Chains A and B, each alone.
Chain A
Amino acid sequence: MTTLFLNARLIDPEAGTDAPGGVLVADGRIAEILPERTDPAHLFRARNIDPAKADVVDCGGKCLAPGIVDIGVKVCEPGERHKESYKTAGLAAAAGGVTTMVTRPDTNPAIDSPETLEFVTRRAQADAPVNVLPMAALTKGREGREMTEIGFLMDAGAVAFSDCDHVVANTKVFSRALTYARSCGALVIAHPQEPVLSGGAAASSSKFATLRGLPAVSPMAERMGLDRDIALLEMTGARYHADQITTARALPALERAKANGLDITAGTSIHHLTLNELDVADYRTFFKVKPPLRSEEDRLSVIEAVRTGLIDTISSMHTPQDEESKRLPFEEAAAGAVALETLLPAALRLYHAELLDLPTLFRAMALNPAKRLGLPCGRLAAGAPADLILFDADVPFVLDRFTLKSKSQNTPFDGQRMQGRVLATYVAGAPVFRRD
């Protein structure tokens, strides 16, 4: 099967370019990156391709980029399928341009045994139209006491190990888990946060949180958590990724750790890049995320860190919650927001605000996450899997949360004006989503 994408605006995160061109896809892989104004007939002849068996997609000058690799998607199977299933998450991912979901193990029960991992892998293969790569818990039940069977779980397909928002508070347990994980070559993804200091917090300490009377945590708790983890990395030499760096104060520590040659990368969430604490306004629980939204200064610092590459990845941190868990007083409401379908439009806000260009965004959303997980996708290069998205970077629309494909519709962007959305999504060269 051959597909020829012509007349596209190619977003190449590896080369850092945003230029006209085309892509030839054969047998699920990118066969060739083509120059502007390629003549299809001429190309088919030159490459010995039967034009009758080839699809030609005229991209009409729209953007063609590698599909998004999203580290940290929560699909609520097993345990809370009423919030999100592999089918609905997969449809949402396809509609949002996410071609690889790296799923979280913070389900109920946690994905902490090869058997549970095999169950979700089966469910994902049967139902999801996009690639699904599962993560497994680092400790049993995400309780921070005993490490999981890291070796068996890797054999079963776990691509990384994480207790998600549960911090392994016991440093002895965490250092042993890191040491063991290193011997297996496993990537550990942690949530840098001082868990006692941040306990019970629903907001970042600030004038706003004071005015709203919300229990708040100093942004310093993130730096303290990161400092501890960096010290443990020096001890153990493990492969480490911080799931979300959201504060300016954590950045110098991250920079030093990288300069010292530790095997560390860091991500951030799209919500911390595009929203700040004031968006909570009158206790809007759809804006309650973990860690809490930060100050505008923090937001701008984190954007700058994405631009320079200090922060490597951007994730949706897709966290479905049903209406009941959100229709509560702010302190009691569940944290988290769905974001598979809003990740790209929200990221494009940064592009339209001229803070980040498109190759930089796709470096953080596709290339870097793929590289960190050792995946061949996330690039526009011959030989890479043809996981591609075609999107219009400029088309304006108003988001209506009830049009989302997720089972849960807890998005903070409801009713907001967005600009740019996916037109078509391809996984291994095959279309999995087309906007009508």
Chain B
Amino acid sequence: MSHVSPAAPGPSFAARHLLGIEHLKPHEITEILDLADTYVDLNRRPEKHSDVLAGLTQINMFFENSTRTQASFELAGKRLGADVMNMAMQASSIKKGETLIDTAMTLNAMHPDLLVVRHPHSGAVDLLAQKVNCAVLNAGDGRHEHPTQALLDALTIRRAKGRLHRLNIAICGDIAHSRVARSNLILLGKMENRIRLIGPPTLVPGHFAEFGAEIYDDMREGLKGVDVVMMLRLQKERMDGGFIPSEREYYHRYGLDAEKLALAKPDAIVMHPGPMNRGVEIDGTIADDINRSVIQEQVEMGVAVRMAAMDLLARNLRAERMEQAG
């Protein structure tokens, strides 16, 4: 069974790469989400295969450990019929002293069509995109951007709330080191939502206020009346007294439990990009509460959004090649 995209190649989304939300316009975001909605339907069918990427090669290059994102991209590519290869970069050439650009040039010579890249340094994916001939998708670079995460979060919110504008959205936890927070802040801001950033000031630098967000270091105050509570993962290496005094104090002040969640709107949804630290930033029972938590939906939307993003980029890539061929 073949999936048919709803529209002819749209003239609006014309980007070569998906490097960040910063470069997307609101209508492009909507276009990706609309297409992703159709892929949600496809993914729920018993026969999930489409061939829109048939004949194209997708390489997943992960310079940083990832299970979920890599699996999500891999599945997205396979459902659309691409030939998918995974490369665990931290295990290979990096150790042999090869530079990022050399690695990119080597892969480029293998003629991939879609390159999915995660790298521990901000801007590394932009750099790589300048050097290759294919479409590059940023799967997370340092603390810069993680665009597909923000898109999947947006799709989850839109489906749960029926809209993606004029919502009060709280993003809680380690904002400073989070690319998820940055991409979400930009995306949700572009779609005209009110954003609150909640966390200890060591993890929520004041410069974020310049993006139009409201900053709260009191979580109870910050959660009052919000429609969406987005929790972030607290990295283990930040728990040792450098940024917060201890795990238990963090949980006490910034962990999402039933008491704090009660301050949000009664129908507020709870999100988390995963993997969760139960008992550190989120109470286990809230994470599992099917009436509040949309964490499993986020994972499902992740595959659909990545299918949509790769579909759109592949259309542009094919159009560009047709043009070049004359």
Contact = CB atoms under 8 A, between A and B. Distances in A.
Contacts of B211: 207, 210-211
A328 B103 CA distance: 12
B126 A213 contact: no
A5 to B, nearest CB: 48
B122 A207 contact: no
A206 B206 CA distance: 9
A329 interface: yes
A81 interface: no
A332 B121 contact: yes
Interface residues of B, number: 23
Nearest to A327: B101
Given A324-B99, A330-B123, 20 more contacts: A205-B205, A207-B207, A210-B207, A210-B208, A212-B122, A212-B123, A213-B144, A214-B122, A214-B142, A214-B144, A282-B126, A283-B123, A283-B126, A327-B99, A327-B101, A327-B127, A328-B127, A329-B121, A329-B127, A329-B142
Nearest to B183: A213
A331 interface: yes
B145 interface: yes
B208 A282 contact: no
B118 interface: no
B114 to A, nearest CB: 21
Interface in B94-151: 99-101, 119, 121-124, 126-127, 141-145
Interface in B67-107: 99-101
Contacts of B205: 205, 210
A329 B208 contact: no
Contact of B122 (A206, A324, A328, A331): A331
B22 interface: yes
A213 B100 contact: no
A213 B99 contact: no
Given A205-B207, A283-B123, A213 B101 contact: no
Interface string A208-224: 01111110000000000
Contacts of A214: 122-123, 142, 144
26 contacts: A205-B207, A207-B207, A207-B210, A207-B211, A210-B207, A212-B122, A212-B144, A213-B123, A213-B142, A213-B143, A213-B144, A213-B179, A213-B182, A214-B142, A214-B144, A282-B123, A283-B127, A324-B99, A327-B101, A327-B127, A328-B100, A329-B119, A329-B121, A329-B122, A329-B123, A329-B142
Interface in A268-288: 282-283
Contacts of A206: 207
Nearest to A323: B101
B121 A330 contact: yes
Contacts of B101: 327-328
Range, interface on chain A? 10 to 19
Contacts of A205: 205, 207
**Central interface residue in A205, A213, A282, A330, by most chain B CB within 10 Å:** A213
Contacts of A212: 122-123, 144
Contact of B124 (A211, A324, A329): A329
A213 B210 contact: no
Interface string A325-362: 00111111000000000000000000000000000000
Contacts of B121: 329-332
Contacts of A213: 122-123, 141-145, 179, 182
Contacts of A329: 100, 119, 121-124, 127, 142
Nearest to B175: A210
A211 B99 contact: no
Interface in B210-232: 210-211
Interface in B143-199: 143-145, 179, 182
A282 B122 CA distance: 10
A212 B145 CA distance: 8
A415 B321 CA distance: 30
Nearest to A324: B99
A328 B98 CA distance: 11
Top 3 closest pairs, chain A to chain B, by CB: A213-B144, A283-B123, A329-B121
A328 B102 CA distance: 10
Contacts of B127: 283, 327-329
Nearest to A202: B122
Contacts of B145: 213
B22 A211 contact: yes
A328 to B, nearest CB: 7
A105 B143 CA distance: 35
A365 B267 CA distance: 66
Nearest to A280: B123
A332 B120 CA distance: 11
Contacts of B99: 324, 327-328
B21 to A, nearest CB: 11
Interface string A374-400: 000000000000000000000000000
Contacts of A332: 121
Given A212-B144, A329-B100, A283 B210 contact: no
A162 to B, nearest CB: 30
A192 B52 CA distance: 58
A329 B124 CA distance: 5
A13 B141 CA distance: 50
Contacts of A209: 207
Contacts of A328: 99-101, 127
B181 to A, nearest CB: 10
Interface in A389-417: none
A214 B121 CA distance: 8
B87 to A, nearest CB: 18
Nearest to B145: A213
A329 B143 CA distance: 13
A327 B145 CA distance: 20
Contacts of A331: 121-123, 142
Contacts of A207: 207, 210-211
**Central interface residue in B100, B126, B205, B207, by most chain A CB within 10 Å:** B207
A206 to B, nearest CB: 6
A226 to B, nearest CB: 23
A58 B268 CA distance: 81
Contacts of A330: 121-123
Contacts of B100: 328-329
Interface string B19-31: 0001000000000
B220 to A, nearest CB: 26
A102 B22 CA distance: 44
Nearest to A284: B123
A326 B141 CA distance: 18
Nearest to B19: A282
A310 to B, nearest CB: 28
Contacts of B210: 207, 210
A213 B138 CA distance: 14
**Central interface residue in A209, A324, A328, by most chain B CB within 10 Å:** A328
